[in-house]
Structure 1
């Protein structure tokens, strides 16, 4: 699944792609444009495109849909950590899922790239990768958003928004990177610019949703490289960006996960 993303490219590229967009952001403004790494586990606010109150807006939403149907607060927190992503198969096949309730609340999540980990047999630590689309500085992943009634610090009623991005089975390249774990061999649902725009169209139907979910972005459309760390707190020794290349000794090529030499230590 996808729990780590980046938006370090200029948000103006999103505004150019969607000229009718109204910017309602309060935190991620042009004065604070770069987000090298965001992870879903703390439910951070993130800029999202959606049709709200009859207009297309760019606004902050919390990443990971809040499962309000779960009444036990502890269990709700546990469940919410797994609701950063919505699997396309479950949306289509499980009519009892929560995604069925909000599937008409379509949104787009602007991104520069995302991070995944690759497991190498015999290595203690998985190898982190940064992945991005080769021909687009900014692209937009489809997702669903949820609205709930809440109150602010003064006790006044407000609407709270949260979102999940959509994932599907990975293509022939990205499955070699995301090769382990409960949700191995999956990737975000990448779309072309034309399909991204259609995703937010008022003419979009349930039949269109099935067709979009079946779209597979070819592996040749992606660039990727190993990076120093994703969630680690130790600063990079070279002081470069989190998404910049970091080379690993003895790293086997993709598809060959049995190295001849042990993993060199990072720390």
Structure 2
């Protein structure tokens, strides 16, 4: 769930939202065709806005998607667990003070996106239909997350500091519940926020009560843009050569909220 996102808008727009941000990226130019469909479970490097724990402001830099569970030593088990840590359930961050996420609660970040994707199951169809979801009227917006630092040692003994992060999710609103309607984590969605709460998320003096209020925010359906798109996985190009995030007309696709069986032998 919430594993696919798109960043097809110029990342430099971040500096309009955060004029005092420090740009610490190693890579300044991006292939936005690649960023049209980023899959978090592959742990890609991705630009985020990080709140510095030492009070030095905020920075734009790359971190790996998927918080690395450093408490697990076996590499295979570590990767398996990490796939479940590309997302953090908002309701588990504060309520369990022994949890890994609670320890990261003050290591907050924002994830710049143009939009996200989710898959909808249609009764009688072989595969799920992907949808593109974005905030209306915003070329780029920011999803809240938590990050951590860990150290790696290469074969030459060089120690490198590496960051990893997870995106925060919540219970789905009405439209997202109809889209994300299947799977073990169905009826979830990213924690979409308005601009004022995005900025509050990076505030130095954010209290647990403030954080809980942010977690309880539910975006109104009218503030979301959403439409079906072409298959994201297994097909390298769309048959119409359009961008992955552009609307695609699936023949026979029932409207949201109506999932009665409809014959479709192709999808």
Fold match by TM threshold 0.5: yes
Q: How far does residue 129 in structure 1 lie from its aligned partner after superposition?
A: 0.8
The question of whether the paired residues in 2 share the 8 Å contact of 1:249 and 1:264 is answered with no
The question of whether the paired residues in 1 share the 8 Å contact of 2:116 and 2:132 is answered with yes
Counterpart residue number, 2:11: 11
Q: How far does residue 158 in structure 1 lie from its aligned partner after superposition?
A: 2.1
The question of whether the paired residues in 2 share the 8 Å contact of 1:248 and 1:264 is answered with no
Counterpart residue number, 2:266: 265
RMSD, aligned α-carbons: 1.5
Counterpart residue number, 2:168: 166
**For 1:148-159, what aligned pairs fall within 5 Å after superposition?**
148-152=150-154, 154-159=156-161
Q: How far does residue 245 in structure 1 lie from its aligned partner after superposition?
A: 1.3
Structure 2 counterpart SS, 1:159:
strand
Can you list the C-alpha shifts for 1:216-266, whole angstroms capped at 9, x where unaligned? 11111111111111122342111111111111111111001013x301415
Can you list the C-alpha shifts for 1:33-91, whole angstroms capped at 9, x where unaligned? 55211001211000000123523110000000000111222211110011000001111
Matched residues in 2 for 1:7 and 1:167: separation? 18
Moved more, 161-170 or 50-59: 50-59
Moved more, 176-185 or 86-95: 86-95
Structure 2 residue 36 is the aligned partner of structure 1 residue 36? yes
Structure 2 residue 111 is the aligned partner of structure 1 residue 118? no
Matched residues in 2 for 1:25 and 1:264: separation? 46
Moved more, 245-254 or 106-115: 245-254
Structure 2 counterpart SS, 1:180:
coil
Q: What is the TM-score normalised by the length of structure 1? A: 0.94
**For 1:1-267, what aligned pairs fall within 5 Å after superposition?**
1-27=1-27, 29-30=28-29, 32-33=31-32, 35-52=35-52, 54-152=56-154, 154-259=156-261, 261-265=262-266
The question of whether the paired residues in 2 share the 8 Å contact of 1:227 and 1:245 is answered with yes
Q: How far does residue 26 in structure 1 lie from its aligned partner after superposition?
A: 1.5
Q: How far does residue 7 in structure 1 lie from its aligned partner after superposition?
A: 0.5
Q: How far does residue 159 in structure 1 lie from its aligned partner after superposition?
A: 1.1
Return closer, same or farther for 1:212/1:201 CA change in 2, 3 Å cut-off: same
Gaps of 5+ in 2: none
Structure 1 counterpart SS, 2:36:
strand
Matched residues in 2 for 1:163 and 1:253: separation? 35
Matched residues in 1 for 2:146 and 2:108: separation? 5
Return closer, same or farther for 1:220/1:150 CA change in 2, 3 Å cut-off: same
Q: What is the TM-score normalised by the length of structure 2? A: 0.94
Matched residues in 2 for 1:247 and 1:126: separation? 14
**May I ask how many residue pairs the two structures share in their alignment?**
264
Structure 2 counterpart SS, 1:208:
helix
The question of whether the paired residues in 1 share the 8 Å contact of 2:49 and 2:109 is answered with yes
